[in-house]
Amino acid sequence: MKISKRPTRKEEKLYQLTTLVAGGFALGDVLDRLARGVVEITGASACSIRLLDDETGELKMRSTFGLSAEYRNKGPVTKDDPVIKAAFAGEAVIIDDMRDDARIKYPQASAKEGLVSQLTVTMQFKNKPVGVLRLYRPKVGGFTEDDIALARSVASQCAVAITNAKYYARAIRGEQVAQQVKLAGIIQRRMIPESAPKMPHLDIAALYNPCFGVGGDLYDFIKLDKDNLAIAIADVIGKGIPAAIMMSSFRGMIRAYADGGHKRHTMAEIIRKLNSTACDECRDGEFITFFYAIINIKEMTMTYCNCGHEPALLWRGGKIRELKKGGLVLGVTKDTEYEIGKIEIKDDDRFLFYTDGLIDAVNFDEKIWGVNNLYKIFRQCAEGTAREIVNGILAWRRRFIGLAHQTDDTSIVVVRVSDKND
């Protein structure tokens, strides 16, 4: 019966270091474990691990064992250092006496620390240097060929473990970003009203569907007084978190200028103020499309302004009319003039407000659903309630696009006018 050889203490320690390669540890934890483990395996008195910063060319101290804070902070080490150059070229650099060697950059600090000999080997991953591992002893000529072989073996494990730890850190950051996006989406959806204010003669339904969790679409309802309801729908040109941040800011602007200000300012003045503020906030290439309407249920009128947005649609008696009066998108130039439209509203009128994501949806054949399909389905569904119209339009669009991934947010608001107080 053959009895297997019992592993030595060094072999056990080396195996423990190899397990770090597969471990899901944070980078700082990996480096601290490696520094301690290398000292225990080799019998050195101290260890330092420096990682190469590709941008600055410096080898930054990332972990040590057995070294004082004063020594760790003694000064910079770069890849142009002669010892580092030799190590990166593949040499195992032994300095027998650091007190009397011109290659030592900080001899006084080494002497004060009680360090006499030094061994430096490179840590490489896929033939690319990622840093150096250094071992120290308090006596002259303390490193042997066995130490070099062992140091190189450990350095190889270090390089892989460090690279894995970096990937792990990136994965954690990715998860954190995903959580932040999820939270931003929750916050944004809370800014989208769940329902419209109750107003006599108005039946209102709406839906918001972001394509990236967060997005640049917005609709809002502002009950200005007992007779007037403001409806706003907008689209920031942009996607994801930046568009969502801009949109949340713009929502605050709308409410600041509209809520309580509609009696002091005309709609044209409010639009000009919004445009001026948007010009200050929008960066190059950014702008906002915006449709703003005020329905007066006492006078049975709608006053509106279309700022480069998809025109709202009025269905009346089977015919559809586009509400186009307005002007340029917001955020381009402050001297833009805007035309204000005003129409009478009648019992059984239907209004449809939407963003371009509704009609720009594409199927797997890359065919766009388009405004013609929207008009067709709006006519078919117009006899229903506001919610039935919203659901009907989206259901027919869903049949067209199937499971094709969309790249633009969708917002839709439907208002049904009725002489009944429902």
Is residue 226 located within the same domain as residue 324?
Answer: yes
- What one-letter code names the amino acid at 185? G
Angle at 292 between CA 289 and CA 298, to 5 degrees: 170
Give the pLDDT score at 213: 55
> Considering the domain boundaries, does residue 2 fall inside one?
no
Same-domain status, 367 and 412: yes
pLDDT reported for residue 21: 54
pLDDT score for 307: 96
Coil vs helix vs strand at 153: helix
pLDDT at 259: 67
- So what's the pLDDT on residue 35? 84
Quick one: which H or E segment has residue 100?
none
Looking at residue 7, its amino acid is: P
**Would you state the pLDDT for residue 18?**
59
Same domain? For 209 and 354 the reply is yes
Give the count of beta carbons closer than 10 Å to the beta carbon of residue 271.
24
Q: How many CB atoms lie within 10 A of CB 420?
A: 8
Which structural domain range is residue 301 located in? 192-417
Asked whether residue 316 is assigned to any structural domain, the reply reads yes
Phi, psi of 216 (to 5 degrees): -110, 10
Instruction: Please indicate, yes or no, whether residues 134 and 226 belong to a single structural domain of this protein.
Output: no
Strands (E), 253-396: 288-296, 301-307, 312-316, 319-323, 326-327, 341-344, 350-354
Beta strands (DSSP E) in 250-349 are 288-296, 301-307, 312-316, 319-323, 326-327, 341-344
Q: Is residue 113 part of a domain?
A: yes
Residues 63 and 121 in one domain: yes
At residue 190, the pLDDT reads 63
Domain count, the chain: 2
Question: From CA 22, how far away is CA 232, in angstroms rounded?
Answer: 54
Please check whether residues 127 and 208 belong to one and the same domain: no
Q: What is the pLDDT of residue 235?
A: 86
- The CATH number given to whatever domain includes residue 129 is 3.30.450.40
pLDDT for the residue numbered 282? 76
Cβ-Cβ contacts under 8 Å for 325 (sequence gap 6 or more): 304, 305, 306, 339, 340, 341
- Go through 363-391 and write b for each residue having 16 or more CB atoms within 10 A of its CB, e for each that does not: eeeeeebebebbbebbeebbeeebebbbb
Burial of 34 (0-12, 13-18, 19+ CB in 10 A): buried
Q: Which residues contact 192 (CB under 8 A, 6 or more apart)?
A: 208, 218, 219, 220
Residue 3 has a pLDDT of: 45
226 and 106 co-located in one domain = no
27-42 and 9-22 are packed helices; what angle lies between their axes, rounded to 10 degrees? Answer: 170
Asked if 114 and 138 count as a contact pair (C-beta separation under 8 A), the reply is yes
Residues 281-315 as b/e (b if ≥16 CB within 10 A, e otherwise) read ebeeebbbbbbbbbbbbeebebbbbbbbbbbbbbb
Which segments of the chain have a pLDDT < 70? 1-27, 165, 168-169, 171-172, 174, 176-191, 211-215, 238-245, 259-262, 405-408, 420-422
Pairing of strands 217-223, 93-95: unpaired
Tokens of 332: 């381009």
DSSP calls for 205-254: EEEEE-SSSS-SEEEEEEE-SSSEEEEEEEEESS-HHHHHHHHHHHHHHH
> What's residue 185's pLDDT?
60
Does residue 411 share a domain with residue 275?
Answer: yes
Q: Say if residue 13 is in the same domain as residue 88.
A: yes
275 DSSP assignment: H
Is 325:304 a contact under the CB 8 Å cutoff?
Answer: yes
Answer yes or no: do 137 and 167 share one domain.
yes
The enclosing domain of 215 has a CATH number of: 3.60.40.10
Partners of 204 in the β-ladder: 415
Q: Are residues 165 and 196 in the same domain?
A: no
Residue in 99, 95, 74, 70 with CA at minimum distance from that of residue 83: 95
Q: Quick check: 105 and 77 in contact, CB under 8 A?
A: yes
How much is the pLDDT for 339? 95
